[in-house]
Amino acid sequence: MELVKTLPDVFEEFSEQRRNSFMPLFEMKEKNIPFVGTFCTYTPNEIIQAAGAVPVGLCSFSDETIPDAEQDLPRNLCPLVKSSYGFAKTQKCPYFYFSDLIVGETTCDGKKKMYEMLGEFKDVHCMELPNRQSLMGRKLWREEVVALKEKLEEKFGVEITEEEVRKQVSINNKNRLALRHFYELMKLDPPPMAGLNLYSVLYGSSFKFDKEKIAPEVEALTERIRKEYEEGKCEIKKRPRIMVTGCPIGGNAMKVVRAIEENGGNVVCFENCGGAKSVDELINENTDDIYQAIADRYLNIGCSVMTPDSNRIKLMGRLLEEYKIDAVVEVVLQACHTYNVESYSIKKFVTEKGLPYMAVETDYSSADIGQLNTRCAAFIEML
């Protein structure tokens, strides 16, 4: 008889999902199932899945390969770009190694030039992402979605039917809803889990290759946590409720979340990529033009590469109220110019609502962990 795993064990499984998926990836490659590497939440995964391929995230959040990357890239470049390129160049990332195609997008200047360099190692298709969520931008992004469809058909020798696209839209919508219901558990006060555990599930679920199994697994976990919470088994104490926003986080960048939670705060909401903004909006399934619906949904994501970035402000405003946020911590990676510049308007927006705000500029090294602990402790004590 199989014993029911404890919640810490379940969270640990999600936390290690990226690593644990290496062998399933190898087994699927032996069955000639194609993999498509991606770097951004703007990439329309439904089109990739409709081609019979598996989308997998390639962004790396470690300083391990940055010295290798800096042999080709400038040192004063975003650590996410350097880390991602370094893992590709050194072949230390099995997901990059086994990817048959890389799909990039013209978000920041560093990434789009890096994609040119990745073309020396792999077949790279770069989507032209408009920087305005305008009518013309939506028309362009729809054309780019269709161009990706045509590239995948040519690359893998398949026909992507509208029926299959709609099927994948439905699957991914169910997954988004399940993940949204999961992180909405953090509206409870005190929250039922640590922010680190919340993020491990959100991030780890993206490395589950059978997309139809994600929603049932996450829904079951949500119900289990809710039940244990109602039974009084929650061990999280009532403390200041913190929203984390800013650049994509994960890996070594999670040191900021640890510093918050180890020094008196509860991280109850992630607005970053990989958090709320990645799953907040669904694709409209009841439309004649499914490609425009896909384009609209992805282009609506609020990111600092957009101008104006009104959708990020709109989402943050709603999350601040729904999660009863006491303070906001913004994580900005060094040399990420769009988020660095936009931190001014985010600080203005947050402080005008009467909430404390702190910006943390960091990279993937461990050199600033002591400083982070000191700053977070002082910030939370002020609350």
Give 172-231 pLDDT, tens digit per residue. 999 999 999 999 999 999 999 999 999 999 999 999 999 999 999 999 999 999 999 999
Q: In this structure, is residue 254 part of a structural domain?
A: no
pLDDT score, position 4 = 64
Q: Is the pLDDT of residue 16 over 50?
A: yes
Measure the CA dihedral 337/338/344/349, to 10°: -160
In a domain, 375, yes or no: no
Q: How many CB atoms lie within 10 A of CB 297?
A: 19
Has residue 135 been placed in a domain?
A: yes
Across the chain, what does the average pLDDT equal?
A: 95
Number of domains, the chain? 1
pLDDT for 2 equals: 42
Cα end-to-end span (Å), the chain: 49
The verdict on residue 221 lying in a domain is no
Q: Write out the two tokens for 313.
A: 């402000």
Confidence of residue 60 (pLDDT cuts 50, 70, 90): confident
Residue 178 domain flag: no
* Predicted local distance difference test score (pLDDT) of residue 223: 97
Is the torsion defined by CA of 90, 93, 94, 96 positive or negative?
negative
C-alpha span between 279 and 173 (Å, rounded): 9
Q: Can you give the residue range of the structural domain that contains 44?
A: 7-160
**Residue 1 in this model has a pLDDT that exceeds 50:** no
Q: What is the rounded distance in angstroms from the CA atom of residue 275 to the CA atom of residue 184?
A: 11
277 belongs to a structural domain: no
Extract the runs of DSSP E, i.e. beta strands, from the chain.
Answer: 35-38, 54-57, 101-105, 124-127, 241-246, 266-270, 327-333, 357-362
Q: What is the pLDDT of residue 232?
A: 93
The answer to whether residue 236 scores a pLDDT higher than 80 is yes
Is the pLDDT assigned to residue 289 strictly greater than 80?
A: yes
What's 149's domain CATH number? Answer: 3.40.50.11890
Query: Quick one: pLDDT at residue 3?
Result: 52
Q: Report yes or no on 284 lying in a domain.
A: no
For the record, the structure tokens of 279 come out as: 């799953």
Contacts of 342 (CB under 8 A, 6+ apart): 304, 309, 312
Of 302, 314, 307, 308, residue with least CA distance to 349: 314
- Tell me whether residue 265 is in a domain: no
CB 226 within 8 A of CB 185: yes
